[in-house]
Chain A
């Protein structure tokens, strides 16, 4: 009994030290700086591309009538979709008491937050005149007009703003106790002040924990339907328009599942990389990789059903323009994106049926990468295939992203990387206290069963 307690104690200490040592005495400073400089370079590219876009106007891009959205909007959907996995892992698995989530939720939520930032900036840049962004908000304008509340584009403004705010609050409330633990481990005065202020004076009082838990669980329960509403709404900016290939009732679930799928793939990639880079093999174990592999596989197969339902809908409905758009997807100018999506999303994914591939970090990383690119192709394909050839032959056109669109896209990955690297450098990236809670409760249960 005594030796068990001692072992448990060592466990608690080990977990917190493992997690808090990273922000306090950062290992691999050199590697981090190299990665950070690379990220900053990409971020610079992002700023330059946005600058060019603002100086020249949207003419710097390949967008034109009829394809006036281009990759600005398909990337927006891609980024926000990736973000959804963080909320789902954190909130849904918390409510289902899946304790293994505790090693993943913190950085998955950070990933969400930064992905939503990258996504949310796209429509603003796409305005071409971002200083008029506030026109989207309902404010008493001198002309007496209001936003068009019956338009999905206005819904979008409210959905993404709510999602960003709620994700940020949920993430911060979840990190407070670990900020306090980092404060208590900090030796340098500056670090003590920094973490002390961020921790808001958290001291682990029982009544505080009780209220914290009530609030955290309540927010989690609200966050799950929020995710579903946000990506359903994003599908509405397509599905609510009378365009062939878009106006389909399968779009909301198809978009939500695709979002979860791409996000789980990205979380799997981050998990394999951070585990390796920071030697966190005993916190992010094979079990976590296994579960991430399963989640990616499950949501991936559901997304595959979405493809099937989409094609079936067009064939069964037999609408002339629907069939034409389907034909364009299979054989037209964007066929590369259609088949790219099908192959990259679903072919390597089949490896994950076997446990040995799910727990092999390199294999899991590569499958995740393939799915992420595949989902990018899907968003591109859905957007362009419908717009470039719809009803009238006279209004058919072409679309290819310009140089500055590509650089803006790669730059947005730099923005994400910069934010994420700062996060792993400065903040406790794994939830230590929740791992300890789970260890304690498992021990309790084991003891109860021993009698």
Chain B
């Protein structure tokens, strides 16, 4: 991973509470910033939306997984019964009621697997190293501190003005970021 000491590839602002972070993220987005990301020790309602996040790919992936699973489950039972037919007293070979349970179970299995894989893939996890871990106090982001990292690639980014803006929004301290936050994607 390339690390550049100078010039800083962004700014990391630390906030003391969740409301300040939420307000700051909202204001930053309103002022036209797009390449920034907030970090918090627990999920905060509306924080990602304040950054312009809007996505329903996970629900779609779950739905597709469910359909594929149900089709696999039902198809497997139909196929095997036709492939090796066992006639038991003239009862139907394709016995729909008897096939319901396995169809349901495989639907659940595929749906949940798809859901979790989609979450990990969209989040680009696992990814054991990330430049934000180089921020000195970042370890506190899983404890009781809240961070906002603005990328230097942002069109609105200006070292002096951005720093002043973050200060005005209530950051308790603002430090330069050593390397680009590769993870943040530009919003259209």
Measured in the bound complex, the distance between the Cα atoms of B99 and A365 in whole Å is: 42
Describe A's contact surface by its main secondary structure. Answer: helix
A279 at the interface (CB under 8 A from B): no
A436 at the interface (CB under 8 A from B): yes
| Structural contact, A441 and B45, CB atoms closer than 8 A | yes
| Structural contact, B109 and A165, CB atoms closer than 8 A | yes
Interface segment out of the listed A74-82, A124-132, A153-161, A384-392: A153-161
Measured in the bound complex, the distance between the Cα atoms of B81 and A150 in whole Å is: 10
| Structural contact, A146 and B128, CB atoms closer than 8 A | no
Segment 96-153 of B: residues with Cβ below 8 Å from A: 98-99, 101-102, 104-106, 108-109, 111-113, 115-116, 118-120, 122-123, 125-130, 132-133, 138-144
Give which listed residue, B48, B58, B102, contacts A155 with CB less than 8 A.
B102
Describe B's contact surface by its main secondary structure. Answer: helix
Interface segment out of the listed B1-9, B35-43, B160-168: B35-43
Question: Which B residues are in CB contact (< 8 Å) with A327?
Answer: none
| Structural contact, A206 and B40, CB atoms closer than 8 A | yes
A181 at the interface (CB under 8 A from B): yes
B76 at the interface (CB under 8 A from A): yes
Measured in the bound complex, the distance between the Cα atoms of B88 and A148 in whole Å is: 12
Q: Tell me the minimal C-beta distance from B104 to chain A in angstroms.
A: 6
| Structural contact, B76 and A138, CB atoms closer than 8 A | yes
Say which size band chain A's interface belongs to.
Answer: 35 or more
Q: Tell me the minimal C-beta distance from B12 to chain A in angstroms.
A: 12
**A177-B142, A202-B125, A208-B125 given; A215·B115 CB < 8 A:** yes
Q: Which residue of B lies closest to A182 (CB)?
A: B142
Question: Which A residues are in CB contact (< 8 Å) with B143?
Answer: 12-13, 16, 181, 184-185
Give which listed residue, A144, A170, A203, contacts B132 with CB less than 8 A.
A203
Question: Which A residues are in CB contact (< 8 Å) with B84?
Answer: 144-146
| Structural contact, B112 and A222, CB atoms closer than 8 A | yes
| Structural contact, B53 and A169, CB atoms closer than 8 A | no
Segment 1-51 of B: residues with Cβ below 8 Å from A: 16-19, 25, 37-45, 47-51
A-B contact count (CB 8 A): 192
Give which listed residue, B48, B73, B120, contacts A209 with CB less than 8 A.
B48
Question: Which B residues are in CB contact (< 8 Å) with A204?
Answer: 39-41, 141-142
Question: Which A residues are in CB contact (< 8 Å) with B99?
Answer: 149
| Structural contact, B118 and A206, CB atoms closer than 8 A | no
Cβ proximity bits A141-179 to B, threshold 8 Å, 1 near / 0 not: 000111111100011001101100110011001000100
Segment 188-244 of A: residues with Cβ below 8 Å from B: 196-197, 200-215, 218-219, 222-223, 225-226, 229, 233, 236
Give which listed residue, B39, B73, B102, contacts A205 with CB less than 8 A.
B39
A440 at the interface (CB under 8 A from B): yes
| Structural contact, A166 and B109, CB atoms closer than 8 A | yes
Question: Which B residues are in CB contact (< 8 Å) with A328?
Answer: none
Question: Which A residues are in CB contact (< 8 Å) with B116?
Answer: 169, 173, 215, 219
B55 at the interface (CB under 8 A from A): yes
A8 at the interface (CB under 8 A from B): yes
Question: Which B residues are in CB contact (< 8 Å) with A155?
Answer: 101-102, 105
| Structural contact, A200 and B120, CB atoms closer than 8 A | yes
Question: Which B residues are in CB contact (< 8 Å) with A213?
Answer: 43
Measured in the bound complex, the distance between the Cα atoms of B47 and A57 in whole Å is: 61
Q: Which residue of B lies closest to A193 (CB)?
A: B128
Give which listed residue, B25, B58, B86, B112, contacts A170 with CB less than 8 A.
B112
Say which size band chain B's interface belongs to.
Answer: 35 or more
**A12-B41, A144-B84 given; A218·B58 CB < 8 A:** yes
| Structural contact, B144 and A158, CB atoms closer than 8 A | no
Give which listed residue, B18, B42, B115, contacts A218 with CB less than 8 A.
B115
| Structural contact, B43 and A162, CB atoms closer than 8 A | no
Question: Which A residues are in CB contact (< 8 Å) with B58?
Answer: 211, 214-215, 218
Question: Which A residues are in CB contact (< 8 Å) with B132?
Answer: 203
Q: Tell me the minimal C-beta distance from B141 to chain A in angstroms.
A: 5
Question: Which A residues are in CB contact (< 8 Å) with B43?
Answer: 209-210, 212-213, 433, 437
B83 at the interface (CB under 8 A from A): yes
Give which listed residue, B42, B47, B108, contacts A434 with CB less than 8 A.
B42
Measured in the bound complex, the distance between the Cα atoms of B144 and A283 in whole Å is: 17
Q: Which residue of B lies closest to A167 (CB)?
A: B112
| Structural contact, B44 and A229, CB atoms closer than 8 A | no
Measured in the bound complex, the distance between the Cα atoms of B39 and A254 in whole Å is: 46
Q: Tell me the minimal C-beta distance from A176 to chain B in angstroms.
A: 8
Give which listed residue, A138, A148, A201, A437, contacts B42 with CB less than 8 A.
A437
Question: Which A residues are in CB contact (< 8 Å) with B139?
Answer: 184-185
Question: Which A residues are in CB contact (< 8 Å) with B68?
Answer: none
Q: Which residue of B lies closest to A12 (CB)?
A: B144
Cβ proximity bits A12-54 to B, threshold 8 Å, 1 near / 0 not: 1100100000000000000000000000000000000000000
| Structural contact, A206 and B51, CB atoms closer than 8 A | yes
Measured in the bound complex, the distance between the Cα atoms of B48 and A433 in whole Å is: 17
Q: Tell me the minimal C-beta distance from A302 to chain B in angstroms.
A: 23
A375 at the interface (CB under 8 A from B): no
Q: Which residue of B lies closest to A148 (CB)?
A: B86
| Structural contact, B101 and A159, CB atoms closer than 8 A | yes
A5 at the interface (CB under 8 A from B): yes
A9 at the interface (CB under 8 A from B): yes
| Structural contact, A149 and B80, CB atoms closer than 8 A | yes
A180 at the interface (CB under 8 A from B): yes
**A170-B112, A181-B142 given; A203·B39 CB < 8 A:** yes
Measured in the bound complex, the distance between the Cα atoms of B138 and A201 in whole Å is: 13
List, sorted by A's number, 7 A–B pairs whose CB atoms are closer than 8 Å. A181-B41, A214-B59, A218-B59, A219-B112, A222-B111, A233-B101, A441-B45
Closest 4 CB pairs of A and B: A210-B48, A200-B126, A215-B119, A146-B80
Given A149-B98, A215-B118; 8 other pairs, CB 8 A cutoff: A158-B105, A201-B125, A205-B183, A206-B38, A206-B44, A206-B47, A209-B42, A434-B42
